[in-house]
Structure 1
Amino acid sequence: MKLFTYLYYFFYVGFNWNFGIALNIIKQEIKGEKKYGISTTGADELKDLSKKGIDTSHATMYMPISYTLLEQLFKQLPATPNMHFADIGCGKGRAMCVAAYNGYTNITGVDFSEKFCEDARRNLEKMKEKFPEMNFAVHTADAMNYDIPATVDCLFLFNPFDVVVMSAVVFNIMESVRMHPREIFVIYANPLYEELFLDEGFKEIFHTKEMKYLEAAILKLPALLQRRKS
């Protein structure tokens, strides 16, 4: 089963990007899945959700961030294990599992696909066996209507939505920090709508781009800025 998944993913990336990148990524996938003991590889279209009557017009397909890029991003964050990590558009939970591996003990995921949420919970249960102090919750919800918990201070996004939903997510983040001023970080992979955050006062503190398609930024909104705005 795993072999078929890897082959499908290899050809998907190869045909959509190029086969040199596909070979590099599939090596990372095999190594990463083995390292973390989870199952998150895949490139799943949203046709099944559409058949169930779920509006997928503002969503992008499931495709996880590369392990190498994800690990690089975590190295740029403060070593604060008490941070509350939230993944909006969490898919099968890869970023949350890597967060647990990096010491985050409070982890939340949100996705509008119940199937993805079930997969994410299974993967997180495996991480909890390794890190019993880690607590997690995965919610099946529409990101546009999801209220960001007051304790969340690190968010992850892998370009899961179009500009309509992303604008609503940014609004929800700003409402949360307005009500509960705090320093907050956003890890934004494939940051197509980064300007939405910059316009609200976020500052880019890290940026990387490799092999043309593997791009990500870390954005920070200082707590002091929030107090001045509130």
Structure 2
Amino acid sequence: MVDGVSATSSSQTYQTAGDRSAASLANDFDDFLVLLTTQLQHQDPMDPMDSNQFTQQLVQFSGVEQQIKTNQNLETLAALTMMSNQSSLASYLGKDALVPRPNGEHDGTNGIMWRYHNETAAEKLTFEIRNDQGDVVHTSDGEKAAGVHDFQWDGKLENGEFAPAGEYTLKIAAEDAGGQKLETGIAVRSRVQSVDLTGTEAVFVVGPNLVSQNEIIQLFSE
């Protein structure tokens, strides 16, 4: 059985800011009316209180009440917008997404697909894949031309056997003709597993990565 104090505390916890402000204003207005009535009852008939002062205070209360009602309407609108957004976010679940991260999830048989971007052509470009312990499990050469390229790791080790399921990270070493290192952008394709809506911004769990919605570069239907 829930006692009165616990129930009141629980209901206050789930009130919006506008609801709490409205409740507080109602209490303040009741106190104001009590004070006003008491002052009128005990005023000096020969020196009555200025009615303009009470009128101004009533106008102020009315203005605050209107502002609180506006805030409550905005909170309702924001809640409806959030519900609509949550419905659209649910459509991401179970699909593959391309996100700007070097690490991906290998399920033990299918490997990992990365996409990388060479801003300029490279003279030399090599791939290095490491497991979550930092050990190198695969090395190979990549496309050197400028532009966007895909790299599909089949999930196999150098001995031809499949690597254990887990998280793997791609590192790309690229150099130009003069031996200068080149920066290469890396993105990974992984499954959208869940969406965390507890914060002010939705956070997607994409493979081993946590990303925001604006970080999702591409969404795949299959």
TM-score range, shorter chain: under 0.3
Larger Rg: 2
- Which one has a larger percent helix, Structure 1 or Structure 2? 1
- Which one has a larger percent strand, Structure 1 or Structure 2? 2
TM-score (norm. length: structure 1): 0.20
TM-score (norm. length: structure 2): 0.20
